């Protein structure tokens, strides 16, 4: 009986994926500099595999013209696009710095926090029609978290 190892599972998985129609390529075949290479950086710092992203966009939107697919690709790969985690981190840090012990009871402090949250959302291009609900959500979460912040 063959031992159940990682290699056995890997080979079985690759065979199954190949039977479903997926192309299976191995490391040396797709290494930088090889004809089937998917990455250009020999140190594997490529975050986006360009060919795969372009294929996925075309698969998701088969009726779109090439220029629209190219535009979608450019928008997805812009380096200056903020990530949700970056926005959330700035919101948490800013709210944490601005809460006081009695902030939930004082309307002026709550109003100030609302303005701060809305500024951050605007800064990152958050949709204006969704800013009010997002602000309420952030303040509700801050109420729960501020109890933990006070203990820490």
pTM confidence score: 0.47
With a CB cutoff of 8 Å and minimum separation 6, the contacts of 145 are 92, 96
DSSP string, 44-85: ---SS-HHHHHHHHHHH-TTS-HHHHHHHHHHHT-TTPPPHH
Torsion (CA) 27, 33, 36, 37 in degrees, nearest 10:
70
What is the pLDDT tens value at each position of the chain, 152 positions in all?
668 788 889 999 999 989 988 888 888 888 888 888 887 888 877 666 788 888 889 988 889 899 999 998 888 887 666 777 788 888 888 888 887 777 777 888 888 889 999 999 998 888 889 999 999 999 888 888 877 765 55
Q: Are 49 and 39 in contact, with CB atoms under 8 Å apart?
A: yes
Which DSSP category does 40 fall into? S
Q: How many CA atoms lie within 13 A of 67 on its CB side?
A: 0
Any idea what the Cα angle at residue 134 is, between residues 132 and 135, rounded to 5°? 65
């Amino acid at each position: 009986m063959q031992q159940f190892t990682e290699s056995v599972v890997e080979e079985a998985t690759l065979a199954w994926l190949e039977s479903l129609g997926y192309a299976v390529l191995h490391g040396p075949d797709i290494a930088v500099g090889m004809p089937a290479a998917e990455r250009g950086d020999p140190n594997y710092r490529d975050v986006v595999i360009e060919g795969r992203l372009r294929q996925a966009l075309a698969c998701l939107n088969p009726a779109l013209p090439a220029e629209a697919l190219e535009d979608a690709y450019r928008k997805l790969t812009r380096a200056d696009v903020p990530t949700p985690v970056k926005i959330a981190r700035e919101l948490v840090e800013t709210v944490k710095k601005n809460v006081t012990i009695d902030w939930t009871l004082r309307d002026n402090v709550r109003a100030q926090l609302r303005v701060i949250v809305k500024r951050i959302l605007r800064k990152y291009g958050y949709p204006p029609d969704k800013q009010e609900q997002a602000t309420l959500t952030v303040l509700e979460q801050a109420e729960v978290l501020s109890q933990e912040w006070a203990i820490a």
